Amino acid sequence: MSGQDRRETRLRHLLDGPRAQVPTDLAVRAAERGRRLLRRRRALRAAGWALLLAAAVAFGVWAATAEPWSARPAWQAPPPRDG
């Protein structure tokens, strides 16, 4: 008997034997868990977008008040050195 025949015989024996009992509410529990995971994923995605939006608004407010693109006024330049 070859290795393939032995494996096939073993598999047939396992399939012909008693089957494991599956809980009757397994599908319901799986669906509930799936819904829970989906809600959590949606909440995390919404929180991420809210954080990104808050960061963009904060950057916009900072840029509008600090005006980093404008040149420094002359009175902020360091004084010239003699010598």
The CA R_g of the chain, rounded to the nearest whole Å, is 34
Place of tokens 């809600």: 39
pTM of the model: 0.58
55 φ/ψ sector (left φ>0, alpha ψ -120 to 50, else beta): alpha
Inform me whether the pLDDT recorded for 28 exceeds 90: yes
> Where do the domains of the chain lie?
28-53
Structure token pair of residue 11: 């598999």
- State the pLDDT at residue 14: 86
Residue 62 is predicted with a pLDDT of 94
Structure confidence by residue, pLDDT tens digits, 33-83? 999 999 999 999 999 999 999 999 999 999 999 888 887 666 666 667 775
